[in-house]
Amino acid sequence: MNYSTSQFKNGLKLILDGNPCSIVNNEIVKPGKGQAFNRVKFKDLITGKTLEKTYKSGESLEGADVMELEMQYLYSDGEKWHFMEPESFEQYDLSEESMGSAVDYLVEQDICTVTLWNNNPITVVPPIQVILEVIDTDPGLKGDTAGTGGKPATLNTGVVVQVPLFVGIGDKVKVDTRTNEYSGRA
Amino acid sequence: MSKVKKNLVHYQDLIIKIREFFYSRKVTEVKTPSLLFSPSTDVYIDSIEVKVNRDISRPTDLYLHTSPELEMKRLLSKGSGDIFQICQVYRDNEYGSNNSNEFTMLEFYRIDFDMHSLVDEIIDLLKMLGKTDAAIKISYAQAFFEYGNIDILNADLEDLKKIANSLGLNSDYDWIEDLQTLLFVHLIEPKISQIPICFIYDYPKEQSALAKIDGPIAHRFELYINGIEIANGYEEIQSADEYRDRFNNELYKRKMIEKKKLLVDEEFLRDIKVGLPHCSGVAIGIERLFSSISL
């Protein structure tokens, strides 16, 4: 299905240079003496890069069959990461490359958002906040409960996060996946 | 004071200041008809057609003016001297957040002004309205050279198609001026959006509209405030024959893109038979100006 510039709106998914993209900004520019154009900002859903293009009004682009579904992360076999859509029990898998930074935060059973393009998964967004376990960190100073300083801690997914000094091995911590920051003890 | 009242008073202050600016320079305020017998022939500006009962038996097709330009030029050719007008104008097929089917236009003509003296007068006007940022003046060719590394005046249709393709843009345009505009909108406008007051002057002759042509360029300018087009002005062509040629060229293009067939306004050409005095004129969008000043 094709979409004409008059149907462009934020969030519309279109094919650009062979990749599925999402419109993040659509501006109609009508020069006083010239024809009308749409100046459009896209996000490439595969590479995450932002692109800017200008179309003459009335031009059309091919729509991208893109869906975002909530899925449960099942397991990784070392090469592929496996997910299940809980309603249909349909399973999908992604390569580590497509997983991006989601590999740092997902533990089995977590619910996350998987983007499908032509029914193939292309990206995963982990929940904003995840609970992970500290598997390695230096012992904190005794009596420091205020958390004035910080130290690196390795969590069970392998990701390293700055934590307050009082956090020890075996503690469960909340992490904000957008910023990779410690946001409290779980 | 309510927010509505405050805005109304601000707007009123702007209009008062504009009028005082012109009164103090002995520019006469005029009022020309907004219901016209002939629609604008501009290729990309469409008139709103209205049915008017001038007679009991059948309605007449009239057109709301898209700008007071030709009516004011009638006055100029009859010896009006310097004139200005603030009026409502109407355009069909306008879309987008910065466009509207009806807006307020300030249009003025200055006898014996060339393009650059008119630009300087607009800078004075902006200053008086409280917009005191430094004004940048850059020619169309300089802007393309600086912001796009493109020699726009020496690039032909094929060169521009290649450039559009290299930017991943559709290059399916028949006229060089449309590709120039595409590249301007795509490459230049986003760059000049950082500049508070930017005059672009000396447009390529293909975009002359009704401006005097001088070799590869036309003495036409536009004012952009933070990347938004505010004004369009020319050093005006003077002879009726030249006007006829420009109108015919516009009608030809309208025909090629299958727009409604229009006729040259013969009555206008008859009225300006003696020609216009040497002058420059400009149209300024008041709502856009207002929002750029009250930022």
**pLDDT tens by residue, A95-124:** 988 898 899 999 999 999 999 999 999 999
Distance (Å) from the C-alpha of residue B181 to the closest C-alpha of chain A?
Answer: 7
Tell if the CB–CB gap between A59 and B170 is shorter than 8 Å.
Answer: yes
The average confidence (pLDDT) of chain B is 95
- Residues in chain A with CB shorter than 8 Å from the CB of B169 are 53-55
Structural domain contains residue B177: no
Q: Considering only CB atoms, which chain A residues are within 8 Å of B228?
A: none
Q: Does A55 touch chain B (CB under 8 A)?
A: yes
Which tens digit of pLDDT belongs to each residue from B35-65? 999 999 999 999 999 999 888 778 899 999 9
The answer to whether the CB atoms of B232 and A33 lie below 8 A apart is: yes
Give yes or no for B185 touching A (CB within 8 A): yes
User: Is residue B188 domain-resident?
Assistant: no
Mean pLDDT of B268-285: 97
Q: Is the pLDDT of residue B141 over 70?
A: yes
In this model, does residue B216 exceed pLDDT 70? Answer: yes
Name the strand (E) or helix (H) holding B176. helix B176-183
Residue whose pair of structure tokens reads 């917009």 in the numeric block: B131
Query: pTM for the whole thing?
Result: 0.85
Q: Which domain holds residue B123?
A: 3-134+196-293
Question: Is B182 contained in some domain?
Answer: no
Give B168's contacts in chain A (Cβ within 8 Å): 16-17, 51, 53
Inter-chain CB proximity B97 and A29 less than 8 Å: no
- B143 within some domain: no
Q: What is the DSSP string of chain A?
A: -EEEGGG--TT-EEEETTEEEEEEEEEEE--TTS--EEEEEEEETTT--EEEEEEETT-EEEB--EEEEEEEEEEE-SSEEEEEETTTTEEEEEEHHHHGGGGGT--TT-EEEEEEETTEEEEEE--SEEEEEEEEEPPPPTT--S--S-EEEEETTS-EEEE-TT--TT-EEEEETTTTEEEEE-
Q: Is B17 within the bounds of a domain?
A: yes
Q: What is the b/e burial string over B151-168, where b = at least 16 CB atoms within 10 angstroms of the residue's CB?
A: ebbebebeebbebbeebe
Task: Inform me whether the C-beta atom of residue B11 falls under 8 Å from chain A C-beta atoms.
Answer: no
- pLDDT for A140 equals 67
- Complete domains list, chain A, with CATH: 2-62 (2.30.30.30), 66-125 (2.40.50.140), 129-185 (2.40.50.140)
Window 5-44 of A, Cβ < 8 Å to B: 6, 16-17, 27-37, 39
Could you tell me if residue B144 is inside a domain? no
How many structural domains compose chain B?
1
Is there a domain that residue B148 lies in?
Answer: no
Nearest chain B residue to A35, by CA: B44
DSSP E strands in B28-128: the ranges are: 28-29, 35-36, 48-53, 59-64, 83-90, 102-111
The model's confidence at residue A145, banded by pLDDT at 50, 70 and 90, is: low
CATH (domain of B204): 3.30.930.10
In chain B, which residues have their Cβ closer than 8 Å to the Cβ of A6?
95
Highest mean pLDDT among A90-99, B94-103, B214-223: B214-223
CB pairs under 8 A between A and B: 75
Over residues A124-130, the mean pLDDT reads: 93
Give the percent of chain B with pLDDT over 90: 93
Query: ipTM score of the complex?
Result: 0.87
Judge whether B229 lies within some domain. Answer: yes
